[in-house]
Each structure stands twice: as structure tokens, then as C-alpha cells.
Amino acid sequence: MNDATRYLVPQSADRAFNATVAWLARRGISIADSRILAVRGRKSGEWRTTPVNLMTVDGARYLVAPRGHTQWVRNIRAAGGGELRLGRRAETIDVVELADADKAPILRYYLRKWGWEVGRFFEGLDKDATDEQLAAVAPGFPVFRLA
């Protein structure tokens, strides 16, 4: 599998953790800036949801896909946006995907903030990884800036 098609299937423990985070977010409780991302399916047009970590860096907000080119990534690319939900609040969002060359500082911040949760997906890298190391893995980690 090359970096452009990297996708890690969630394990049962991951699914249980995600279900708990989603359950809390649906009730208006955010854990470390978690939200429910809702995106229209690119084939079905149906709303699809998944918990995500919303991150703010220098005033801009981002979503990172630690498992790679997942279904939500493919759907948001096709739709150009979706909704971020927390409790009864839903925020319509548009996104712009970052180029691989621009991802290193965002990935580093992501690892600093959520490495405890997602670090295992980063092939042994952590918040202290060099720019070169992060640039090398960047194609496998889609990053979206909320527009």
C-alpha cells in the first residue's frame, strides 16, 4: 500500500472508543475538542457520521485523518464540506485539503495534542519528529483546513 492509498481499518477497541466519543458528542459533551463530522456519501447522498478531533492552529481550524484515506476523507473531498456537530448544534463547513508540503507543522501539533490517542497510527513518530520525517509520511495523512 502506498501513502496515497493508506487506510488503517479500525480495530474493535478503536470502534468502542469512537462509539463512546460519538455518544458523548451527540449529547453536547466534547472530549479534547471532539465533534461529529457529518458528510454526504459520495455515492448514496446519505449523511455519514464519524467522530473527529477539531484542531485550531494559529486561528485556523483543521481536521486530520490519522487512519489515512478513509471513507469520510473520500466523501469530504467529493462534497467539499459537511457539518460539525456537537449536541444540537450543527456548523456547516467547507474544507480545503492541504498539500503534502504544508502538513508537517499541522501533523506535529496534532501529535502534540492527541498523540496519546492516535500516536500508534503514525508509524513510530511523535511530536518530536523532524520536519523531514513528517514530510515523508504526509501523503498518508490527509489534512483539511476549514474554510
Q: Is the pLDDT of residue 2 over 60?
A: no
Q: Is the pLDDT of residue 12 over 70?
A: no
Q: Domain tally for the chain?
A: 1
Q: From edge to edge, which strands make up the β-sheet containing 81-86?
A: 47-53, 34-40, 81-86, 89-97, 143-146, 60-64, 55-57
For the segment 15-41, the average pLDDT, to the nearest whole number, is 86
Which residue carries 465533534 as its cell?
35
Residue 67's contacts (CB-CB under 8 Å, 6 or more residues apart) are 7, 8, 9, 10, 121
- CATH number of residue 88's parent domain: 2.30.110.10
Domain region containing 42 = 10-146
Per-residue pLDDT tens digits for 39-68: 999 999 999 999 999 999 999 999 999 999
3-state helix, strand, coil in the chain (%, to 5): 40, 30, 30
Q: Is 54 a member of any domain? A: yes
Report yes or no on whether pTM surpasses 0.75.
Answer: yes
Provide the mean pLDDT of the chain: 90
Q: Is 93 a member of any domain? A: yes
